[in-house]
Structure 1
Amino acid sequence: MSEQSMPEHRGFRHWLDVRFRSPAAIYGVIVFAAFVTISADHAENAWDMLGSSVGTLIVFFIAHVFAHTLTDHGEHGLGEATRRAVQHSAGMLYASIPATIVLIIGGVQGTPPDDLDDLSLWATMGVLAVLGYNAYARRGANVTMRLLGAAGTAALGLFIVLLEYAIH
């Protein structure tokens, strides 16, 4: 059975696509990593980092939902526009899960903020690498190109996070 004829509700690729392969999710994973990196400079522990980063991401999520609802409201009505906005923006929240898990585990273990910053960046780059690999796989690239695409995607994401950190 070809990939296109497989039911859409099955498999890891569909799960990944629904939660992580959207512009909102990719934006979310990058900005959350930047929030964590910025918060590491001021936090005394993982819980400070987690509260600051998650709180800021939720504000960005609400702003994203608001913007999407406002632009869609005239065409679909408030309720439907809001539902679509939340669905469209949910990737921002899903994308923060791996780094959030790192922060929670680090908080339980008493890991210092600087170390948690590094670990959460690794988790973020892992998410971006998987997305890059998956994008090249969908294009039919060979394994070498998939791996190079994964590395390039993660490296570009890291550059953007560091750029965001530098201007804050």
Structure 2
Amino acid sequence: MSDSLGANPAEEPAVQSSRWQRIRHALVTPELIYGTIISSAVIAVADEDDDDFDVFVVTVVSMVVFWAAHVFATAVANHGLRNGRIIGMGQAFREGVHHSKGLLYASIIPLVFLILGATGLLDEDAAYFIALLAGTVLLGVLGWLAFADRGSRWPARLLGGLGTGLFGLVIIVFKTVLH
């Protein structure tokens, strides 16, 4: 049964998104989360003899390759007839680039620390460790924000952030071991 406005009372009411939530939803994508895990795993499997510049280059190249593969897969999958309309290869490619940008964004913070270590502005070992830790921290922050979106109080946000960060760390470790 519906109320006088025709809405179903069993359905949750629509919540107006804040400007911050709209920005978060535009930036925080599955590709950003997956890219964070990939870039952390690439950094983690770096050879102990490699300096931060070598790890930087390998991470950049790896992330560009993963990004290009994701753009290609998205473009091919979306090309053709979709929901009754034809999607040309150009449009499918543009959508793939837009859809996949999180894979590149994910590595920015760790790469900054690696280049600081490579240039001597930070100790190389410290820069490497911070670059590796950055992915786990980012995943924790994303967990916090997801719980904040739901209106959770700070203890639930903290537990959600810790859980997300720890789960991300476990995934990074598994990805590292399997590589």
**TM-score bucket of the superposed structures, by smaller chain:** 0.7 to 0.9
Q: Please give the per-residue CA displacement for 1:92-128, whole angstroms capped at 9, x wherever unaligned.
A: 111111111111111122633x543321122112211
Which of 71, 78, 87 pairs up with 1:72? 78
For residues 18 and 97 of structure 1, what CA distance do their matches in structure 2 show? 17
* RMSD, aligned CA: 1.9
State the TM-score, normalized to the length of structure 2: 0.82
> Contact (CA 8 Å) 1:29, 1:96: kept in 2 or not?
yes
For residues 17 and 79 of structure 2, what CA distance do their matches in structure 1 show? 35
Aligned length: 160
Match status 1:48 vs 2:54:
yes
Match status 1:17 vs 2:41:
no
Which of the two has higher C-alpha Rg?
A: 2
Q: Please give the per-residue CA displacement for 1:24-56, whole angstroms capped at 9, x wherever unaligned.
A: 11100110000011124351x111000001101
Match status 1:111 vs 2:118:
no
The one-letter amino acid paired with 2:77 is T
**Superposition pairs for residues 63-142 of structure 1, below 5 Å?**
63-75=69-81, 76-109=87-120, 111-112=123-124, 114-142=125-153
Which of 150, 157, 162 pairs up with 1:146? 157
> Contact (CA 8 Å) 1:128, 1:157: kept in 2 or not?
yes
Match status 1:29 vs 2:67:
no
Higher helix proportion = 1
Q: Unaligned stretches of 5+ in structure 2?
A: 1-14, 82-86
Secondary structure at 1:39's aligned position in 2? Answer: coil
Q: Unaligned stretches of 5+ in structure 1?
A: none
For residues 74 and 60 of structure 1, what CA distance do their matches in structure 2 show? 23
> Contact (CA 8 Å) 2:113, 2:128: kept in 1 or not?
no
Give 1:38's aligned residue: 45
Q: Please give the per-residue CA displacement for 1:141-163, whole angstroms capped at 9, x wherever unaligned.
A: 11000011001101011111111
| Bigger RCO of structures 1 and 2 (CA < 8 A, at least 6 apart) | 1
The one-letter amino acid paired with 1:111 is D
The one-letter amino acid paired with 2:123 is T
For residues 50 and 86 of structure 1, what CA distance do their matches in structure 2 show? 23
* Greater Cα shift, 120-129 or 132-141: 120-129
Q: 1:56 to 1:5 in 2, by over 3 A?
A: closer
Q: 1:54 to 1:137 in 2, by over 3 A?
A: same
> Contact (CA 8 Å) 2:116, 2:127: kept in 1 or not?
no
State the TM-score, normalized to the length of structure 1: 0.87
